[in-house]
Each structure stands twice: as C-alpha cells, then as structure tokens.
C-alpha cells in the first residue's frame, strides 16, 4: 500500500493542488462499517474524540476550530502555584476539563504512550474497552470479544500501515461502527474528528511555505475546515468533522431486547423420539413447540425428547480445541454457548435433548440438523439413569477417572509427574464407533495425558534409591516396571500392571505414523475383531491404563522399601 504516492507527471499537478478531495473521502469512510479514531501518516492526520452531545447542538465551530488535541496528551497530576492562588494539585484529562472548551467533559478514546527504551504504543481508554467488553490480543493487533457464535471478533483494530517508498509507516486505530454508535448513544456524545491533509512534492518542486496559497474556509453544521492551494504545486486542508450516532436511545434499547428475546430467534426442525407419546416425529426446537412434565400441554412432545445424530457431528468440536471444549457430557463454545448434555448410545449415535438444542445459535442448530437421523437404539443407560431416574450412575468411565487422577496429580505435583494441564485433559475424548483415524488420534491424546506425564529424570532417582539396575536408554515405562520389581512387586504382576500403558504407547506410534503398512492395518483389524468397534476397544484400553496408573501412583507415592502385597 503506497498511500503517499504522487501520481504520474500528467496528473500530478492536479492531484497536488486538491487536498480538499480528502475531505470527501473522509466523509465516505466515516459512514462505513469501521470508524477511524486515529490515523497518522506522513501527510495526513485524523484524531477523533467524543464531545458531549449538548455542546454539539449546534457546534460552535468558532470555538472548536482553534482547539488543539494531541494523542500523546493523557491524564496527569497537575501541580501548580502562583497567580495569587495557593499551591495545589489536581487530576486533569488529556483533552482538558476547561468549561470554555467545546470538548470539556468529553472523552479521549486513545492515547499514544511513550517510555524511554520502548517504541511508542497505542493505549485505549479503559471506559471504552470495558464497556465494549473487549480484550487486546497481540496476535490480532486488535481489541476483541467472543461473539454469539463463539468466534473471536475484532472490535477495535490497531494497525501499523505498510511502509511507503520512503520507509514511512502510518498508524490506524478504528472502531466497529455499530459498537461506537451504541457507546455514543448511551454516553450522550458525538464524535469530533480533527483532520489535516497535506499534498506536496518535496522532491521535485520543493516547498517554501503557504504564504502564496489561495485560501478558503467552509463551515456547515457538522463540518468546518480551512484550506489553501498553490496551483499545480501543493495544497492543504484542516478542520473538524462531527459524526452523530444514527440511532436513538430507544432504538438501541430495542436492539438489545430483540437480541435477548428468544421468541424472535430462529429454530431448526429435528427428527425426535417423542418421549411423551412414543413416536418418531419432526419437531421444531422452538420452546413453544414442546412442553415440560409440569405444564404437559396437550399434543406437544416433552422438551426432554431425545434427538439422535450420526457420530460425525462431533468431528468439528474435536478438531478445534481452541474454540470448543468437550467436558464430560457437555460441549462448550468459549463463553458463547453450551450444549448441556450429550452422550453416545450402543449404536454409536450421539444423542441430546430437544430442549438443549434450543439454546444453541441457529447456525449451530443447522449444523446439528445436517447429521440428524432416526434412533437406531435407545439413549445410553448412563443418560437414562441420570436424566430420567435422577440417580447417580455407577457405570465406570475409565477416561473420566483418568482425567480426575491426572488432575489430582497436577494439584499434588509429585516430583515424578509433569503437570498435564486442562487443555491436555480436554483433548482426550472417546472416538466414534467406526473412524479409524479418530481412534488413532484419541489414543495419541490418551498417551499424551498419561505417559508423557512421567518425568524420567525423577524416575531414575527413585529407581536408584530402590537399588534397581537400569539401562541408560530406558524410557519411563521400563523404569516404572523396574521400580515395581525393586519395591517388591512380583515381576509377572509388574509386567501385567504396565502392559496396558506399553500397549497404548506402542499403538500411538503405529497408528499415528504417516505411512500405512501391514502393522497399522493389522492393528485396525485386530481392534474390530476383538471389540467390534473402535470405541469399545478404546474403552477397554483406557480401563487397563487407569488400573495401571492407579498402581503406579500407589507405588511411586508410597514407601519403596515396603512392597505392596501380592494379590
């Protein structure tokens, strides 16, 4: 982007003498989706602050015109004396609080801060930042928030413009129009932007001042400027432009009410298993299309009617762990929405309830709808027990137990354990029934959760203290097996305890290898032959890993001189 490039010789003169054209461009920009509140470059400058609306009806351009505002001016503690007044100190805003200024009681939105040894940087007014609920993300160079779809959305952008042919870089700070308008309406302010555009070619024609410039002034209710031009050589224009919100307070309040009014939301239709009348029907997720056990409106299905989906519906949530969290039977999308309950039945279908689908954004409902199908089996026993009988389920869940155990280790921090963190725990999930690639991926996540948590250097110390002999190239699982034996565990039992972890670790290497081959194909065949589904194989493997980890914790946290009793 070469934003200071002077046109070719044919049109250069016309361009140089028409800086006033930039005012029309600025007016156009200020009607767009983003409003610049600070633009600084070699020959252009825009700096906008908020003015109290009461001082802008009408704007006193005679007073506003000469006002100087500086983005590097900030809040400060003033210390003054003299003039017949006692020595005093007070807090003063960057744009001043003098009652005579049209900007008095206004608000400076951004500050250009400097400190010795640091490059100048932009800081936003905290009233604006907190009111808009935005947070600075350095990788995006923007103040962002999570929108209703769970996407990170820039609201205030701080951009370094590309260098021009002379190496000059500009800075642009812009705010999303709808958010700035809402802020102005609520704070009863308007935007007052100081601008200055200059067009001059120092390289070719030189520049010796504006004393010979043809000058003119312009004043309108929302715009005033002074300009000058030297025909064919140079020009300037500077002044103020006022941007008023295009909504009233009543309209802003109506927008807020509409956004939170569930009756005005869209809802998708789903094939459901009507829990009330025992039928398979298509029903809207809209709250009024179903009923609860207390109201029991005649003819309507219960809102707790199950809805079934192909297992692939989970793929996108597993793939984007930055955006989505699968936590037990719940799916969360940042702080935007959550699916409060789901499970997987014996046929491998994902199921949830009509009521829970109604809380999802419409776009998310449509995503689930694309995987919707009739039930092939009832809901899981676990879901029926907890959701309909209201009882605690005693069905073992080895993956959940492994997550609890590793979370406990993270908290107690024994020296032989490397904390796994919540992100690693959330990444570990059950695979679907028939997806071999997902099965391999989840075995890798399980291995990362458990085996990668063992700290080999500390295991070597424990083994040495037990008097065990060890090889220099032994890894964590071999070291743990040696510690078991040295602690009095019979060798056969020690091998059996560690075997599931070794099996998992070996499977990870085989299944996540970039090449295929007989071994990978054989492992897939074997898993299906022995367990019918990849999920069932994973559950069995996770159960063995959990038993092994339980034994490891008991031995490594116990007294190695007191061997556990053989069972």
Distance CA 543, CA 396 (A): 9
Q: What are phi and psi of 353, to 5 degrees?
A: -120, 150
- Produce one character per residue of 506-532: b if its CB has 16 or more CB atoms within 10 Å, e if not: ebbeebeeeeeeeebeebbeebbeeee
Residue 307: burial class (beta carbons within 10 Å; 0-12, 13-18, 19+): buried
Residue 447: burial class (beta carbons within 10 Å; 0-12, 13-18, 19+): buried
Asked whether the beta carbons of 351 and 383 are under 8 A apart, the reply is yes
Select the more confidently predicted residue: 75 or 302: 302
Distance CA 344, CA 399 (A): 14
Asked whether the beta carbons of 255 and 246 are under 8 A apart, the reply is no
Per-residue confidence (pLDDT) for residue 158, from 0 to 100: 95
As a residue count, the chain comes to: 567
Q: What are phi and psi of 47, to 5 degrees?
A: -140, 120
Q: How far is CA 427 from the centre of its chain?
A: 17
Asked whether the beta carbons of 17 and 234 are under 8 A apart, the reply is yes
pLDDT digits (tens, 9 = 90+) for 309-331: 999 999 999 989 899 999 889 99
SS (H, E, C) 298-313: CCCCECCCEEEECHHH
What's the pLDDT band for 562 if we cut at 50, 70, 90? very low
Q: For the chain, which residues make up each domain, given as ranges?
A: 9-249, 262-388, 398-556
Instruction: Give the mean pLDDT of 457-485.
Output: 93
Place of tokens 């017949």: 84
What is the average pLDDT score of the chain? 90
Strands (E), 341-387: 343-344, 350-353, 372-373
Nearest CA among 284, 197, 204, 190 for reference residue 246: 190
Nearest CA among 213, 207, 161, 181 for reference residue 44: 161
Place of tokens 């519906």: 313
9 — alpha (psi -120 to 50), left (phi > 0) or beta? alpha
pLDDT digits (tens, 9 = 90+) for 497-547: 999 999 999 999 998 875 666 788 999 999 999 999 999 999 999 999 999
How many CA atoms does the CB half-sphere of 463 hold within 13 Å?
23
Residue 96 has pLDDT above 70, yes or no: no
What's the pLDDT band for 469 if we cut at 50, 70, 90? confident
pLDDT digits (tens, 9 = 90+) for 210-258: 888 899 999 999 999 999 999 988 999 999 999 999 999 999 999 999 8
How many CA atoms does the CB half-sphere of 252 hold within 13 Å?
16
DSSP string, 51-80: EEGGGBTTB-HHHHTT----TT---EEEEE
Per-residue confidence (pLDDT) for residue 261, from 0 to 100: 82
Sign of CA dihedral 99, 103, 107, 109: negative
Residues 6+ apart with CB under 8 A from 281: 271, 272, 274, 301
Per-residue confidence (pLDDT) for residue 311, from 0 to 100: 93
Nearest CA among 504, 398, 532 for reference residue 445: 504
Distance CA 435, CA 446 (A): 16
User: What's the token pair of residue 61?
Assistant: 């351009």
Percent share of the chain, pLDDT over 70:
95
Per-residue confidence (pLDDT) for residue 4, from 0 to 100: 60
How crowded is residue 338: how many other Cβ atoms within 10 Å of its Cβ? 17
Instruction: Give the mean pLDDT of 53-74.
Output: 92
Distance CA 22, CA 14 (A): 13
Per-residue confidence (pLDDT) for residue 108, from 0 to 100: 94
Residue 148 has pLDDT above 50, yes or no: yes
Per-residue confidence (pLDDT) for residue 516, from 0 to 100: 60
Which segment, 56-65, 70-79, 91-100, is predicted with the most confidence on average?
56-65
Percent share of the chain, pLDDT over 90:
71
- Produce one character per residue of 393-427: b if its CB has 16 or more CB atoms within 10 Å, e if not: eeeebbbebbbebbeebbeeeeebbeebeeebbbb
pTM of the complete model? 0.80
Q: Residue 282: enclosing H or E segment and its boundaries?
A: strand 279-284
Peptide bond into 58 cis (omega under 30): yes
Beta pairing partners, 59: 56
The angle that helices 534-556 and 476-486 make with each other, rounded to 10 degrees, is: 50
Residue 560 has pLDDT above 50, yes or no: no
pLDDT digits (tens, 9 = 90+) for 9-44: 667 888 889 999 999 999 999 999 999 999 998 889
Instruction: Give the mean pLDDT of 331-341.
Output: 94
């Amino acid at each position: 982007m070469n934003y200071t490039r002077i046109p070719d010789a044919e049109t250069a003169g016309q361009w140089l003498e028409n800086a006033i054209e930039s005012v029309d461009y600025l007016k156009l920009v200020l009607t767009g989706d983003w409003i610049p509140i600070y633009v600084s470059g070699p020959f252009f400058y825009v700096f906008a602050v908020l003015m109290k609306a009461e001082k802008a009806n009408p704007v006193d351009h005679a007073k506003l015109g000469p006002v100087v505002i500086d983005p590097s001016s900030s809040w400060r503690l003033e210390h003054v004396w003299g003039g017949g007044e006692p020595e005093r100190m007070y807090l003063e805003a960057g744009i001043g609080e003098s009652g005579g200024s049209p900007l008095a009681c206004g608000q400076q939105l951004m500050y250009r801060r400097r400190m010795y040894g640091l490059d100048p940087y932009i800081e936003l007014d905290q009233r604006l930042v907190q009111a808009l609920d935005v947070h600075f993300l350095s990788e995006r160079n923007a103040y962002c928030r999570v929108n209703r779809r769970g996407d990170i959305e820039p609201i205030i952008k701080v951009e370094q413009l590309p260098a021009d042919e002379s190496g000059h870089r500009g800075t642009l700070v812009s705010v999303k129009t709808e958010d700035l308008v809402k802020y102005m309406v609520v704070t009863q302010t308007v935007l007052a932007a100081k601008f200055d555009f200059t067009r001059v070619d120092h390289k070719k024609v030189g520049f010796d001042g504006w004393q010979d410039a043809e000058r003119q002034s312009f004043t309108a209710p929302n715009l005033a400027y002074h300009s000058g031009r030297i025909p064919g050589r140079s020009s300037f224009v500077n002044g103020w432009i006022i941007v008023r919100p295009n909504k009233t307070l009543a309209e802003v309040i109506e927008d807020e009410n509409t956004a939170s009014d569930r009756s005005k939301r869209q809802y998708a239709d789903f094939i459901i298993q009507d829990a009330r009348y025992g039928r398979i029907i298509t029903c809207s997720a809209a709250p009024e299309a179903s009923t609860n056990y207390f109201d029991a409106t005649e003819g309507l299905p219960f809102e707790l009617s199950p809805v079934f989906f192909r297992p692939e519906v989970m793929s996108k949530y597993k793939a984007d762990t930055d955006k989505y969290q699968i936590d037990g039977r719940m799916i969360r999308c940042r702080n935007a929405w959550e699916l409060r309950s789901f499970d997987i039945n014996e046929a491998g279908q994902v199921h949830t309830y009509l009521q829970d689908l109604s809380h999802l954004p419409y776009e998310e409902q449509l995503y689930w709808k694309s995987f919707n199908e009739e039930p092939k089996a009832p809901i899981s026993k676990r879901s029926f027990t907890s959701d309909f009988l209201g009882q605690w389920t005693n069905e073992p869940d080895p993956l959940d137990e492994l997550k609890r155990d590793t979370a406990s280790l993270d908290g107690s921090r024994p020296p032989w354990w490397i904390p796994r963190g919540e992100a690693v725990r959330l990444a570990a999930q059950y695979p679907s029934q028939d997806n071999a690639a997902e099965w391999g991926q989840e075995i890798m996540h399980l291995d990362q959760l458990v085996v990668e948590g063992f700290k080999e250097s500390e295991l070597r110390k424990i083994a040495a203290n037990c008097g065990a002999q060890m090889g220099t190239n032994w890894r964590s699982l071999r070291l743990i097996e040696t510690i078991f034996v040295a602690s009095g565990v019979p060798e056969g039992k020690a091998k059996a305890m560690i075997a599931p972890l070794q099996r998992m670790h070996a499977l990870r290497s085989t299944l996540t290898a970039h090449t295929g081959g007989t071994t990978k194909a054989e492992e897939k065949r074997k898993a299906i032959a022995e367990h019918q589904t990849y999920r069932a194989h994973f559950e069995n493997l996770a159960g063995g890993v959990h038993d092994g980890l339980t034994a490891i914790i008991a031995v490594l946290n116990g007294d190695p001189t007191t061997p556990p009793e053989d069972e």
